[in-house]
């Protein structure tokens, strides 16, 4: 009998581990209202007997990236990448010394660069990415992530992802959701690492993009990135990017800034059960605290709109037991 | 004992049905070289012990639609849809009586309409789709498919899909492939029915597209289709559409016309095992026979290139035991 029980022990152990996961799919979330609301939503849309049941193919969840899945301070990480590229390429571009936003980049004036906004960012991106093939660009991004540390935390950038959001992505996928990134950041900047970091494959990454050209160079077909904007996947561009790439309206959307307003609005104004989530950066100790007055990740209109629209505001400081993995 | 066997009979029945499927995943394909080559390819890329093994996430297969998954004669079915829309909307557009390609449409001069080419098609599409929301457009397409029959076969258009290709799509998915449509046809024209007909969800449909605008009309957010081309997903546009939507190079591509040349080239010039498939319309009895001189689905350059590039040409008449389901 005793031997019998010993044989069963590993089974019980496995069962209890599974149970822990099933009991708490979001261990890095404090047991606050936000967590309970997420679980209640997922439970009702996946229960075939619930009036709010949603068939599996319609379970589309979209996540902003900067400030929602990973940090975005002191400036968007992609901007830091572009800055490093400008410095590398500056030897061949003497004119950049007097030309904005390049001049500010070379003077390490991050504030001036950030103030140049989305437009300045796209100029930097066009200048530093144009003429490269997508393979060359992907390699450059991978090498940079591998070799570069964040200026204040000293972590690699893809270590500065939010553990609670990683758990949320997995929890949704475990419940039949397809998870997408829908970011103002560059689509080809995110793709090389999104699969390993977030479990989100390249075909489920939506982002700002440059136009591309297909050509055969010395017998070798290549796709070349052109210095011309295709889509700015921010604000009113987000629902457009969602429709273009996904072709269905999400039932769950997560963001953290006014750039996500229209994605949240588009998502939560559909029929049936919907969930809008806003990450509010309130933790100056473990991460950063900012909202209405921040040049990066400004959260103002969406914060005001959240209560009347039923969007769930996550208080990072109080709702998250852990920030980074 | 006898009773025991009777109980087992249904199990054996189920097993033997499963075996038939496992033995012949492509029952509507004659046992020709083409079929054997497809099976040999799928076998080697899915066998972990094969030097040609491809990990599951990289198993991307792309299919043209017109003339590859469904028929395209006498003209692209989407053109027939646009023609019906022009006739419906003509009461509000007296100027169309003298303005091409609308004048030819109203005179039922299909040849002149077809001769206006991709550009004419896009003009018709812009004129008949602009200002509609994506929901309105989706409903219009669904209603049309439901109510309209093909002019010569009398079948519904989505009954004119190729049974052998349906089996191929399923065979690939059963082997861990993700299947995509990559078509010169309109992305929003295919999405409403691609999931039911092909098992391909909206997020795996790539096609030509119009620009869209997000706006809030009387408090209701809508996405409106604009009369401005976003992408023509044909020829050099196909690898661009593939990269934009999928972000990886396919390892399997199927087409039937010169419009698929660059998709086949891009796919089969990647490293490792690749498969390029060209459907050659050779069956005037059961479907249509055409290639080099056809205004629709012209197959000339790709037919010449196939032998040297190792693309597998499907002889519809001899390789397919069945055409439509």
Question: Between these two residues, B133 and A112, which has the higher pLDDT value?
Answer: B133
Give the range among A15-19, B37-41, B48-52, B73-77 with minimum mean pLDDT.
A15-19
B-chain CB neighbours of A233 within 8 Å are none
What integer pLDDT is reported at residue B2 of this predicted model?
Answer: 45
pLDDT value at A53 more than 70: yes
Tell me what the mean pLDDT of segment A116-126 comes to.
Answer: 79
Does residue A196 carry a pLDDT above 80?
yes
Asked if B57 reaches chain A (Cβ–Cβ under 8 Å), the answer is: yes
How many CB atoms neighbour CB B208 within 10 A?
A: 25
Mean pLDDT of chain A: 92
> Angle CA(A283)–CA(A170)–CA(A18) in degrees, nearest 5?
110
pLDDT at B7 over 80: no
Which strands make up the sheet holding A312-315, listed edge to edge?
A220-231, A205-217, A178-186, A60-63, A252-255, A275-280, A312-315
* pLDDT score for A36: 97
- Residue A262, chain B, CB below 8 Å: the answer is yes
Question: Quick one: average pLDDT of A156-169?
Answer: 98
Average pLDDT, integer, range B73-84: 92
Helices (H), chain B: 2-23, 33-46, 77-89, 102-106, 110-115, 117-129, 134-147, 163-174, 187-198, 237-245, 261-268, 301-309, 316-319
Phi, then psi, of A206 in degrees rounded to 5: -120, 135
Higher pLDDT, A129 or A96: A96
Distance CA A194, CA A162 (A): 13
Q: Give tens-digit pLDDT for B195-216.
A: 999 999 999 999 999 999 999 9
CA A8 to chain centre: 43
Asked if residue A1 has pLDDT above 60, the reply is no
Taking CB atoms and an 8 Å cutoff, what residues of chain A touch B204? 203
**If you classify domain B29-73+160-319 with CATH, what class do you get?**
alpha beta
pLDDT for the residue B161: 98
Residue B25, classed as helix, strand or coil, is coil
Give the single-character DSSP code of B295: S
Supply the pLDDT for residue A179: 98
What confidence score (pLDDT) does residue B22 get?
Answer: 57
Going by pLDDT thresholds of 50, 70 and 90, the confidence category of residue A187 is very high
- pLDDT of res. A10: 45
- Is A154 touching B (CB cutoff 8 A)? no
Lowest mean pLDDT across A94-103, A120-129, A142-151, A204-213: A120-129
Does B95 have pLDDT greater than 60?
Answer: yes
Tokens for B280, please give them: 């050659």
User: Which architecture characterizes domain A27-73+158-319 according to CATH?
Assistant: 3-Layer(aba) Sandwich (3.40)
Residues in chain B with CB shorter than 8 Å from the CB of A301 are none
CA distance linking residue B78 with residue B148, whole number of Å: 12
What's the mean pLDDT when you consider all of chain B?
A: 92
| CA distance linking residue A192 with residue A188, whole number of Å | 7
Looking at residue B124, its pLDDT comes to 85
Complex ipTM above 0.85? yes
Structure tokens at A128: 């530093």
How many A×B Cβ pairs under 8 Å?
92
Among A6-20, A283-297, B105-119, name the most confident range: A283-297
Structure confidence at residue A129 as a pLDDT band (50, 70, 90): confident
Q: What is the tens place of the pLDDT at every residue in B134-150?
A: 999 999 999 999 999 99
Residue A5 pLDDT grade (very low, low, confident, very high; cuts 50, 70, 90)? very low
Contacts of residue B12, defined as CB under 8 A and 6 or more positions apart, other chains included, come to: none
| pLDDT value at A142 more than 70 | yes
Distance from CA of B246 to the nearest CA of A (A): 4
Name every chain B residue with its beta carbon within 8 A of the beta carbon of A251. Answer: none
Closest chain A CA to residue B208: A244
Stretch A173-196: mean pLDDT, rounded?
97
Mean pLDDT across A188-197 = 97
Mean per-residue pLDDT, B28-34: 96
A286-315 confidence digits (pLDDT tens): 999 999 999 899 999 999 999 999 999 999
Does the structure show a pLDDT above 60 at B3?
no
Give the separation between CA A112 and CA B265, rounded to whole angstroms: 45
Dihedral (CA of B90, B93, B96, B102) sign: negative
Q: Give SS3 for A270.
A: coil
d(CA B220, CA A12): 53
- Assess A215–B contact: CB distance below 8 Å, yes or no: yes
Q: Virtual CA dihedral for B258, B259, B264, B270, nearest 10 degrees?
A: 130
> A322 by DSSP, 3-state: which?
coil
- The percent helix, strand, coil of chain B (3-state, each to 5) is 50, 20, 30
Count CB-CB contacts under 10 A for residue B133: 17
**Sequence-separated (6 or more) residues with CB below 8 Å from residue B211:** B225, B226, B228, B229, B230
What local confidence, expressed as pLDDT, does residue A95 receive?
94
Output the pLDDT for position A22. Answer: 57
What is the average per-residue pLDDT within A9-18?
A: 44
Residue B111: name the closest of B313, B294, B310 by CA. B294
The pLDDT assigned to A131 comes to 82
Whether the Cβ atoms of residue A266 and residue A249 lie closer than 8 Å to each other: yes
């Amino acid at each position: 009998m005793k031997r019998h029980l010993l044989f069963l022990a590993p089974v019980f152990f496995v069962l209890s581990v599974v149970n822990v996961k099933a009991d708490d799919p979001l261990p890095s979330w404090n047991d606050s209202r936000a967590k309970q609301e997420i679980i209640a939503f997922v439970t009702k849309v996946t229960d075939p007997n619930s009036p709010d049941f949603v068939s599996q193919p319609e379970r589309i969840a979209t996540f902003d990236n900067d400030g929602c899945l990973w940090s975005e301070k002191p400036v968007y990480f992609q901007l830091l990448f572009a800055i490093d590229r400008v410095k590398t390429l500056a030897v061949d571009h003497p004119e950049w010394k007097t030309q904005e936003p390049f001049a500010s980049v070379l003077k390490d004036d991050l504030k001036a660069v950030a103030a140049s906004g989305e437009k300045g960012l796209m100029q930097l991106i066009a200048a530093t990415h144009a003429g490269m093939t997508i393979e060359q660009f992907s390699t450059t991004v991978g090498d940079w992530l591998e070799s570069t540390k964040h200026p204040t935390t000293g972590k690699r950038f893809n270590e500065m992802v939010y553990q609670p959001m990683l758990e949320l992505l997995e929890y949704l996928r475990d419940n039949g959701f397809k998870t997408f990134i829908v970011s103002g950041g560059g689509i080809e900047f995110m793709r090389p690492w999104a699969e390993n970091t977030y479990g989100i494959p390249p075909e489920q990454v939506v982002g700002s993009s440059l136009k591309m050209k297909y050509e055969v160079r010395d017998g070798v077909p290549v796709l070349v990135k052109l210095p011309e904007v295709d889509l700015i996947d921010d604000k009113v561009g987000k629902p457009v990017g969602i429709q273009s790439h996904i072709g269905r309206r999400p039932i769950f959307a997560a963001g953290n800034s006014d750039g996500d307003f229209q994605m949240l609005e588009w998502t939560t104004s559909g029929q049936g059960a919907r969930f809008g989530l806003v990450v509010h950066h309130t933790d100056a100790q473990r991460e950063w605290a900012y909202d209405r007055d921040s040049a990066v990740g400004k959260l103002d209109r969406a914060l005001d709109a959240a209560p009347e629209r039923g969007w769930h505001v996550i208080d990072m400081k109080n709702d998250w037991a852990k920030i980074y993995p």
